[in-house]
Structure 1
Amino acid sequence: MTHFTRTTRRAAIGAIALAAATLSLGAAAQAYPTKPITIVVPFSAGGTTDILARLVGQYLTTELGQPVVVDNKAGAGGNIGGALAAKAPADGYTLFMGTVGTHAINAALYKKMPFDHVKDFAPLSRVANVPNLLVAHPSQPFKTVPEMIAYAKANPGKINFGSPGNGASPHLSGELFKSMAKVELTHIPYKGSAPAVSDLLGNQIAIMFDNMPSVIPHVRSGKLRAIAISTAKRSPELPDVPTIAEAGVPGYEAVSWFGLFAPAATPKPVLDKLSTALSKVLANPEVQKKISAQGGETVNETPAQFAAFIRSETTKWGKVVKESGATVD
């Protein structure tokens, strides 16, 4: 057998193997999903990330015909769960509910990241934008932003503010407030929103800047006092609560967002199926109503639009981290 013949034969075998692999991949993608899907949530149960993941998972179960379950992996400002999801098999059976923290803030806040928030993930769509609410225990001696600023200046470092963790948007909301209002607040990070809210309800910490879904039930029940909202406009859910900007810190604005991702190497046919299913879920009036009731705004976009948004947010929050001087405790 000549060298040319051997080479041709090897090339033919390689082409056949490639075609078989492609057909196999196509068949697998067509059949997907054939087993339960997990959404990794990088914060503890009960927080906004968890609430949104469970809501989306419930409706994705209907669209995809397989159970969608939530796996909470809290810690390191979302980095523990992010690293787990980034390194999971890229087969469409492990998804990740990312946040402005995991996919815009942490890259600037942490000196060493366990994953690359752009290269290691395939964005599917943002799910919701959510305001952060500045809330206090009712026993605190201030009811408004000016009163809180005055108290903080008279008692430097005495006001403790909790957050779901270092690098989460509520943490940065607090750091931005400290910088713009020129006050000293003491940051107390937790492994998720739920334990922080629990301590706030028990008056172990004085205030929180937290996503509205996590605290709005306690505001409505009177267990927490809403002082101001982080967005440029007031929320329809709490129309009497002023924005931080109009209440005494002009120009202040901070918004949390949440979105669904898959590991970067997930096959395109699987990503397409996931993207189509997610788009249907986010277009569902029931889902939109439930997100709105939590104080959030549903977002339904293409993977390309979400990717572009992440790039712009990374730039924006990188500047905020630098200017505020925020660091990981």
Structure 2
Amino acid sequence: MFAVAPAMANDVSWPSRPIKLVVGFPPGGAADVVARSVGEQLSRELGQPVVIDNRAGAATTIASTFVARSEPDGYTLYIGSMNLHGLDKILYPSISYDGNRDFTPISRWVASPMIVVVGKDSPFKSLGDLAAAAKVKPDDINYASAGNGTTTHQAPVYFQQATGIKLFHVPYKGGSPAITAMLTGDTQVSFATPPTVLPHIKAGTLKALAVTSSERSPLFPEIPSAVESGVKGYDYRFWYGLYGPAKLPEAIVNKLFAASTKALADPKVKASLERQGMEVLPSSSVSEFRSLIAKDGPKTAEFGKLIGSLE
């Protein structure tokens, strides 16, 4: 990758100009909501603007490639997920980056289950109803996702594995377009990130069937768990974290870790994220985040194998 001058590693003047925070989705999706909610407070902690740079497409690999090729100077950062560390290379074998080699993990920021939603007039009243109908007519029920390989694609694939059913996948370029398709009736179901659907659930334009976790979420306890909805052995959650390019100097990593921890502890930031259905779960250390990646990353590679058998 890039050589790092010894002076940079101890550069206490960083940051001296605006910082770019790259998001692999269009505005309005969960990653974008997290980036904007935390980024504003992060800019206060660091004393420089944090500018959100949306680079959507190809299941975030366009954004990931851009960050991996950026200089490790602390001015290009990334909101990433566990897909970086397994699934990306399976879905897109030609990508030039390696998730474990070409990025510097800094801290997990948030985590959450997905919410399974249907249209307000849908006949399905529970996740069990959905599974039962899909068993009778495989591939007859379609679901909207934010794109191939995204969390909104992974959650329903694991659901199909757990229930032995087949749904028809309709990928979109981001969470917001996927939910628009739900609202217009073009698609029937979505396993969506909370920020994209909670306003519609509250407005009554979409109906929540369940969360994708085995237990109810403390942030929206009125929505049943997957187990309560008649689907045993199904437990899917996702997280987003802060990354930089490989070889990011340790001094900058430590400064970013401390600043993001403070930003996430801010009551207004925490309340804003929780209103959007995102649980604030910052890593206790950089090494803890790396351990989480080592545990969760390989699981996304397993997902790549499931695609071939279920879709």
TM-score by length of 1: 0.88
Residue 328 and residue 269 in structure 1: after superposition, are their counterparts in 2 closer, same or farther (change >3 A)? farther
Q: Report the alpha carbon displacement of residue 240 of structure 1 after superposing the two structures with TM.
A: 2.5
Mapped pair 1:223 → 2:205: yes
Does residue 103 of structure 2 align to residue 121 of structure 1?
yes
Is 2:279 aligned against 1:316? no
- Alpha-carbon deviation of 1:194? 0.8
Cα pair 2:215 2:227 within 8 Å, conserved: no
Mapped contact 1:110–1:328 kept (Cα < 8 A): no
Alignment match, 2:288: 305
RMSD, aligned CA: 1.9
Map 1:206-245 → 2, pairs under 5 A: 206-245=188-227
SS at match of 2:51: strand
Contact 2:84 2:297 in 1 (8 A): no
CA displacement at 1:208 relative to structure 2: 0.5
CA-to-aligned-CA distance 1:143-164 (integer Å, 9 cap, x gap): 2122212222232212111111
Contact persistence 1:79–1:114 (CA under 8 A): no
Partner residue in 1 for 2:266: 284
Bigger drift between 49-58 and 157-166 goes to 157-166
Residue matched to 2:139: 157
Distance of 2:137 and 2:296 partners within structure 1: 34
User: Equivalent residue of 2:227, what SS?
Assistant: helix
Per the alignment, do residues 325 and 289 of structure 1 end up closer, same or farther by CA in structure 2, a change over 3 Å counting?
same
Task: Provide closer, same or farther for how the CA distance between residues 32 and 325 of structure 1 changes in structure 2, counting only shifts above 3 A.
Answer: same
Write out aligned runs for 1:1-329 (5 A).
22=6, 24-25=7-8, 29-301=11-283, 302-322=285-305, 324-326=306-308
Q: Is this contact kept in 2: 1:128–1:299, CA < 8 A?
A: yes
Q: Following TM superposition, by how much is the alpha carbon of 1:286 offset from its aligned partner in structure 2, in angstroms?
A: 2.3
- 1:90–1:264 contact (8 Å) kept in structure 2: yes
Check 1:181–1:327 CA distance in 2 against 1; reply closer, same or farther (3 A cut).
closer
Gaps of 5+ in 1: 1-20
Between the aligned partners of 1:307 and 1:316, the Cα distance in structure 2 is: 15
Change (3 A) 1:260 1:153: same
SS in structure 1 at match of 2:228: helix
More helix by share: 1
CA distance in 2, matches of 1:169, 1:78: 11
CA contact (8 A) 1:77 1:102 kept: no
Secondary structure of 1:310 counterpart = helix
Stretch moving more, 76-85 or 105-114: 105-114
Which 10-residue stretch deviates more, 227-236 or 62-71? 227-236
Question: SS state of the match for residue 40, structure 1?
Answer: strand
Partner of 1:79: helix, strand, or coil?
A: helix
Counterpart Cα distance in 2 of 1:328 and 1:88: 36
**What is the letter of the counterpart of residue 162 of structure 2?**
M
2:72·2:246 contact (CA, 8 Å) conserved in 1?
yes
Supply the AA of the counterpart residue of 2:139. Answer: G
Whole-Å separation in 1 of the counterparts to 2:143 and 2:268: 34
Cα distance in 2, alignment partners of residues 197 and 56 from structure 1:
24
Name the larger-Rg structure.
Answer: 1
Letter paired with 1:280: K
Distance 1:328 1:42 in 2: 26
Q: 2:144 touches 2:178 (CA, 8 Å); kept in 1?
A: yes
Take 2:156 and 2:9, find their aligned partners in 1: how far apart are those partners?
A: 48
> Runs of 5+ in structure 2 lacking a partner?
none
1:328 CA displacement: 11
- Do the aligned partners of residues 78 and 328 (structure 1) sit closer, same or farther apart at CA in structure 2, a change above 3 Å counting? farther
Q: Residues 109 and 264 of structure 2 are in contact (CA less than 8 Å); yes or no, is this contact kept in structure 1?
A: yes
Number of residue pairs matched by the alignment: 306
Secondary structure in 2 matching 1:240? coil
SS of match in other structure, 2:261: helix
Deviation at 1:232, TM superposition (A): 1.9
The offset of 1:227, in angstroms, is 0.5
